[in-house]
């Protein structure tokens, strides 16, 4: 057991970084804290901030048993600064500094690049909370409401994680960046969030589930690459963040699965054999599979843009500097410098998608995206098994990676989801789809009850029974 595994809950800011021994940092964080709470109350969940929610809070940083569950009102949540335990003798694992001891301080030559990486990651965390701000008013159950709020408070904590690194290691610049992270707003015309997908609306719960399935998984990929960092405090921060991220993706994966299950069960019960008979399906008050596919098309394509251009010098520089590795870098077998290696990139050339081998260093975004797309396939296969088990010949598919893209090789290429020429807009959710889904978004607040468009989960959170009151709405 190292001292880092215990969390000090005595002060204003729970932490396992010895905040009591660092007065300068503690003052910076305590100064930032009221602005954070103000942001949380004005830009965070629009409803139920004053209700007890059954949330998990970290009590340690071991991979096992780090969480304790209990009722807490969200503004009283114990956000804190939690790093995974240090690994003795850890070395920089890749790039030009490979084999040197991992850095405990910011390497001066890479300072600007590192700060940029922290700010971009940090900006996504509060953005998602802002995007999900209004969903609490229409949750399909108390179980789902609780999961939304769990994701929200943890994204808030992820913001804390990046703010800690900025304030501890970047002095005055870092404090200014930390303030700016609370100043930008998702979708704001003057001060938007930094990345496109984080300025999109999350108008309904189907979008929320796709967001947590696709966009939180992008977060996982980015955090995994940063967890490899030679800057050890970043690595340790990201390793703990990843333990929280798993639940976010579960919420999305199981959420879509429950929607699909409910739709199939309702169609079966009504004797509907054709899942594309949208009018009949919608008359049942469930979400038809073609609409689910269009939402999937939208969220997948938005999220792919988050990986940046397929060919990127920034990515190459961050790798060579030892700041951002590949997915599971430490499990890959090669020279970890990629001086002579090549990687196959899908490019858009004269109106056709072609595969080209390019220097692997410049293709790191593409590689991370490939790893991501592979993982996405797993969830979709599970949903399709449920559709098949209900006896329907309908398959949800990931669209072509060039579909509906704004960034990279395929920006502006007019492709259909199957990669042939086509108008992307005709495969995206329509205003009519949006209005129909919106008509279903009515809150279900009775413990153990679920809105008609979604199946109950297989098991409760923390082993709780089906009628557990995850959010005490009657209690202030």
Task: Give the residue with the Cβ less far from Fe ion, 216 or 469.
Answer: 216
**Minimum distance, C-beta of residue 79 to Fe ion, in the bound complex (Å):** 13
Determine contact, residues 256/383, Cβ cutoff 8 Å: yes
**Minimum distance, C-beta of residue 223 to Fe ion, in the bound complex (Å):** 7
**Minimum distance, C-beta of residue 403 to Fe ion, in the bound complex (Å):** 24
Contact residues toward Fe ion (CB under 5 A) are 125, 155, 158, 216, 219, 245, 248
Task: Give the residue with the Cβ less far from Fe ion, 43 or 353.
Answer: 43
Dist CA 222 CA 376 (whole Å): 15
Task: Give the residue with the Cβ less far from Fe ion, 245 or 444.
Answer: 245
Task: Give the residue with the Cβ less far from Fe ion, 158 or 295.
Answer: 158
| 222 exposure class (CB count in 10 Å sphere: 0-12, 13-18, 19+) | buried
**Minimum distance, C-beta of residue 247 to Fe ion, in the bound complex (Å):** 8
**Minimum distance, C-beta of residue 246 to Fe ion, in the bound complex (Å):** 9
Determine contact, residues 323/228, Cβ cutoff 8 Å: no
**Minimum distance, C-beta of residue 400 to Fe ion, in the bound complex (Å):** 26
**Minimum distance, C-beta of residue 214 to Fe ion, in the bound complex (Å):** 11
Distances (CA, A) of 293 to 26, 200, 373, 427: 48, 18, 16, 9
Task: Give the residue with the Cβ less far from Fe ion, 248 or 294.
Answer: 248
**Minimum distance, C-beta of residue 245 to Fe ion, in the bound complex (Å):** 5
Length of the chain: 476
Task: Give the residue with the Cβ less far from Fe ion, 219 or 325.
Answer: 219
Task: Give the residue with the Cβ less far from Fe ion, 157 or 262.
Answer: 157
Task: Give the residue with the Cβ less far from Fe ion, 216 or 409.
Answer: 216
399: Cα separation from own chain's centroid: 20
């Amino acid at each position: 057991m190292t001292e880092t595994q215990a969390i000090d809950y005595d002060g204003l800011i729970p932490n396992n970084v010895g905040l009591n021994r660092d007065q300068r940092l503690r003052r910076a964080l305590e100064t930032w804290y009221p602005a954070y709470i103000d942001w949380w109350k004005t830009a965070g969940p629009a409803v139920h901030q004053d209700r007890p929610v059954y949330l998990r809070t970290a009590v340690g940083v071991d991979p096992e048993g780090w969480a304790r569950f209990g009722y807490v009102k969200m503004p009283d949540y114990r956000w804190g600064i939690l790093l995974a335990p240090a690994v003795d003798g850890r070395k920089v694992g890749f790039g030009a500094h490979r084999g040197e001891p991992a850095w405990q301080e910011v390497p001066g030559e890479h300072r600007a690049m590192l700060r940029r990486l922290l700010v971009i990651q940090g900006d996504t965390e509060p953005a998602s909370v802002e995007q999900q701000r209004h969903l609490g008013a229409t949750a399909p159950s108390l179980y789902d409401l609780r999961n939304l709020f769990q994701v929200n408070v943890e994204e808030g904590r992820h913001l804390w994680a990046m703010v800690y690194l900025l304030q501890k290691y970047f002095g005055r610049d870092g404090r200014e960046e930390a303030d700016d992270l609370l100043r930008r707003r998702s979708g704001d015309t003057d001060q938007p969030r930094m990345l496109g997908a984080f300025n999109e609306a999350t108008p309904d719960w189907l979008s929320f589930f796709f967001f947590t399935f696709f966009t939180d998984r992008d977060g996982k990929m980015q955090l995994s690459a940063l967890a490899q960092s030679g800057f050890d405090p970043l690595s340790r921060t990201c390793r703990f963040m990843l333990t929280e991220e798993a639940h976010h993706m579960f919420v999305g994966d199981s959420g879509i699965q429950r929607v699909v299950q409910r739709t199939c069960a309702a169609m079966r019960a009504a004797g509907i054999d054709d899942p594309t008979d949208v009018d009949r399906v919608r008359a049942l008050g469930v979400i038809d599979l073609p609409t689910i596919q269009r939402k999937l098309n939208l969220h997948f394509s938005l999220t792919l843009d988050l990986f940046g251009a397929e060919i990127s010098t920034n990515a190459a520089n961050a790798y060579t500097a030892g700041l951002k590795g590949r997915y599971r870098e430490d499990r890959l077998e090669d020279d970890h410098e990629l001086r002579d290696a090549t990687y196959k990139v899908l490019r858009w050339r004269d109106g056709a998608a072609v595969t080209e081998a390019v220097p692997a260093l410049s293709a790191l975004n593409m590689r991370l995206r490939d790893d991501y797309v592979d993982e996405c396939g797993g969830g979709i296969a599970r949903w399709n098994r449920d559709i098949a088990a209900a006896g329907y010949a309908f398959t949800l598919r990931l669209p072509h990676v060039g579909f509906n893209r704004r960034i990279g090789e395929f920006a502006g290429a007019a492709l259909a989801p199957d990669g042939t020429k086509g108008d992307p807009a005709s495969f995206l959710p329509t205003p009519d789809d949006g209005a129909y889904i919106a008509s279903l978004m009515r809150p279900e607040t009775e413990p153990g009850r679920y809105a008609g468009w979604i199946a109950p989960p297989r098991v409760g959170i923390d082993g709780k029974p089906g009628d557990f009151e995850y959010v005490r709405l009657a209690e202030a």
